[in-house]
Structure 1
Amino acid sequence: MESLTNADPGEWLRSLLDTKWHDMHTVVPRGFLAYARIFHPVERDRPKDTGTWHGHARTDVYPLECEKVSWAAVAQAFGTHMHPLAQFHRVLGTESNGQEILDAAGWRYSAPRTGNLAPETLAAAAVHLGKHTSTPDQGVSAVWEGWGGLTSSAGYAELAVSSDGVHLENKVAAATLGSGPGSGLLQAEVVNGETLDLPGRAYYLFNAAPQFYIDSDWVNHVPWHHSPGWPQSPNILWPTDGQWVLVTEIDFDSTVIAGSPELISALVQDPTIEALPLQEGADLTWDADIPNRPVR
């Protein structure tokens, strides 16, 4: 995994992005024929003994049954409507406000991760991405500069999970405060090098092509996360020929892919990926014009 010494490979994106927020195109490039939104998986759990959180005390820690589900499954559980511009709190039918969200069957839901596409989902998408470029073995991965502990150890701390996988141990692997550039995951020459500066974001670039992500073992070979157990996907990915762009914006709970109609169709039809087609100009922060409604 080689870091790139300059931002030239990403400069072509700059002219395709808006400098002011109107819709998704401050982070997703304009000008492609088709777009798809990949919804990040949702995690839910319930106690193994009773199979429901309803009527279950919270005073002790219990063995849990955990699984990942689609947004469509969440909508089915809560009687709401799933659509391309869906927002997760509306799929739940309520704002969590820090409270537990339970469905009628007793499952407890966690919000999908923002700014991070699950390795298995990225691997499934990469199969299609590699088929829709003439340069599947040549491409660039961009990683947001602001992830904790990436450029410096200053202020970064890491909690360790105990051997039972449930409790957080009372020890903190904290880096020394005040450490300078290069004391984090990336070497000083990378941190002090050139970044790709796009509207509101700056990124470090790496030589990591689409084919690299087909095997989910990629989590063991990138320099930008602390542990394969807590992997970080690239925030932007594109092949050298620029036939498509994958964008996992740090504040989005979904990933947007811009490309050809054929690529978008393949992603949407893949049963291992929850994806829906998007229109150019889609605003993923507001869906009041398409209210959720009961499933019929």
Structure 2
Amino acid sequence: MLVFPNAKINIGLNIVEKRADGYHNIESCFYPVGWSDALEITLADEFSFRSDGIVIPGNSSDNLCTKAYQMIAADYALPAVKMHLLKSIPIGAGLGGGSADAAFVIKALNEQFDLKISFEKQLDYARRLGSDCAFFISNKPAYCFQKGDEFEDIDLNLKGKCIVLVNPGLHISTVEAYSGIVPKRSEHDLHNVLKEPIENWKFKVKNDFEATLFPIYPLLGEIKEALYQQGALYAAMSGSGSTLFGIFELEKDLQKHFADYKVWQGPLD
């Protein structure tokens, strides 16, 4: 079976409060985008995982894809499989690529071996692997809260608009990103603001990490401003960085403009 785990962006990211378990409660809108990895799962004599493309740090036994397989295999009589991941989505880039890979393993194993795992149980498995993972089970626009693993439907349709994602190759750890954050509630209700024309978002839809990370990494702010100069209706950093995105009314080719960085551009669904 061949699947294509896709990335997501955060449209707005409010860090609301720190939890007793050390995590943070957030408010955000997760929106799927077309930048994808490729994952092939085939029957084998023994389990194996390998990856090509962008180098994934650490051992294969620690990869979320491996952990997803082991978690399902502990509850179901799975045969051995060989997993081959072609990694294209940048790592530590605020795009949820690793989480998507793991969630797609859950969905692919369920389909390939007709396990009949309920949607809710798939969500439960995904939540065990990471806060972002559960989003990719439904993989549709959602208002996210708590640790980013609880969801409500949101009436947001950007179909027909185009997105440009720019990744300058900076790796920002979660610890570093949160170190300067003072949790607080936003003065604007994200649900309501996202119902307004997209041109209004620039003034009301914020990513809290930008205020602390842009002074440390001025390049991030420069890329965001360049996206606006190129005509973006809305631009922001995704997650805790370091990818910036711009949403445009019409198709935009900015590969040459951001020639020194990784760029993905395409339509939104």
TM-score, normalization by structure 2: 0.25
**Greater length-normalized contact order (CA 8 Å, ≥ 6 residues apart):** 1
Q: Which has the larger radius of gyration?
A: 1
TM-score, normalization by structure 1: 0.23
Higher strand share: 2
